[in-house]
Amino acid sequence: MLACYLAQHGENSLLDAAVVVSAPLMLEPCADRLEQGLSRIYQRYLLGQLKLNATRKLLSYPGSLPLDLSQLKNLRRIRDFDDVITAKVHGFTDALDYYQRCSALPLLPQICTPLLIIHAKDDPFMTPDVIPDPAVLPANIEYQLTEHGGHVGFVGGSIKQPQMWLEQRIPTWLSLYLEYQQ
């Protein structure tokens, strides 16, 4: 979402700098990935949370979503949820239309704001399809691909003394732009 915002607003972005971590820059391949192997555990959890929120909304505001509780209960994949709820509520034809129009990877060259993107090769949500080609990235985008980090894990150090690597990396990178603005 943040990368799409930055691309759509170009030089008129309200942000001086931004960081995107473990973002599914291509939504369709990421939705496909969640249906495979151990990633299905994440899909089950995420879908459960989405369905719980949708159930609460339907109970509080009947008719507020384009399905009823029995239809909601039968959804088995994130893609199904996106097809029936996310796409319809936000004016997209279906999940594929939503995935194509809201994937940020093709929009990265339009970003003018300094941006740090961090991904891990072992992220269970990701596929090689989300890795940007450095040759097409503008100079204001720094891309960092780590071997390990999972989905927003990025723990360094040792088992006895783990270090939350992300908690150091992001403020250090942003401080360059915060100091510049003062």
Q: Is it the case that residue 154 has pLDDT exceeding 80?
A: no
Stretch 146-166: mean pLDDT? 76
Stretch 86-94: mean pLDDT? 97
- DSSP output for 30-99: HHHHTTSTTHHHHHHHHHHHHHHHHHHHHHHSTTSSSS-HHHHHT--SHHHHIIIIIHHHTT-SSHHHHH
Stretch 31-40: mean pLDDT? 93
Cβ within 8 Å of residue 106, ≥6 positions away: none
Q: The pTM is what?
A: 0.86
Cβ within 8 Å of residue 105, ≥6 positions away: 25, 26, 129, 130, 132
Query: 120: which strand partners?
Result: 146
Please state, in angstroms and rounded to a whole number, the distance separating the CA atoms of residues 87 and 26: 16
Mean pLDDT of the chain: 92
Would you list the domain boundaries of the chain? Answer: 2-24+106-181, 30-100
Q: What is the pLDDT of residue 96?
A: 98
Q: What is the pLDDT of residue 179?
A: 63
Model confidence over 11-21: pLDDT tens digits?
A: 999 999 999 99
Q: What is the pLDDT of residue 181?
A: 56
Q: Is it the case that residue 47 has pLDDT exceeding 80?
A: yes
Stretch 133-151: mean pLDDT? 90
Stretch 125-154: mean pLDDT? 88
> In percent, how much of the chain has pLDDT > 90?
75
Q: Of the given ranges (14-23, 111-120, 126-135), which has the lowest mean pLDDT?
A: 126-135
Q: What is the pLDDT of residue 180?
A: 55
Q: Does residue 95 contact residue 149 with C-beta atoms inside 8 Å?
A: no
